[in-house]
Amino acid sequence: MNHKLMLYQSAANVTDALEAAANGYFENDKEAADTIAAVQGQFEVDSQSVIAWLLNREAMAESAESRIKQAAENLKREKALHDSIRHAISEAMQRTGIQKIESSDGLFKASFRKSTAVAVFDEAQIPAEFMREKISYTPDKTAIKKAIESGREVAGAKLETRQNLQIK
């Protein structure tokens, strides 16, 4: 069963039992109390099950994030090694005057080709017409919160009181 659906149904059972008790649908107070206790107990059991499942899924996500981070670090290290080896081969070929290296089986060859690249040595001297403008605006939520708390109205923003679930 879907975990959200299970919690929804379990919570609905509790609210239904509370409404039934408030509207006098039970034969007596003991029956009402027993029914409410039973559905609340089931809600707690269902919630415990979902929380345990959630904690397991969060641990799986943390593990995946850790593996992704490690893979990214490995990739960065591997690419740096490739660049370093390419640079070493290039320097050695230029130092020795060798312009071309071919494998005996014809699988690869290394040679130089001319290219033109722009080298910016002083960005401050570049005319404005050759500069790209990069403007990015994002709300400063900390400043907005302080302003609203000090009594200032900030258009497009408001403070919300939230109930954040904490699982320890």
pLDDT in tens, 28-50: 999 999 999 999 999 999 999 99
In a domain, residue 161? The reply is no
Predicted structure pTM score: 0.61
Distance CA 144, CA 114 (A): 54
Determine the distance from the C-alpha atom of residue 84 to the mean position of all C-alpha atoms in its chain, rounded to a whole number.
32
What's the average model confidence in pLDDT over 114-127?
91
**pLDDT of the residue at 167:** 65
In terms of residue numbers, what domain contains 63? 3-127
In a domain, residue 80? The reply is yes
Distance CA 20, CA 29 (A): 11
Q: How many domains does the chain have?
A: 1
In a domain, residue 151? The reply is no
pLDDT in tens, 44-101: 999 999 999 999 999 999 999 999 999 999 999 999 999 999 999 999 999 999 999 9
- Average predicted confidence (pLDDT) for the chain: 93
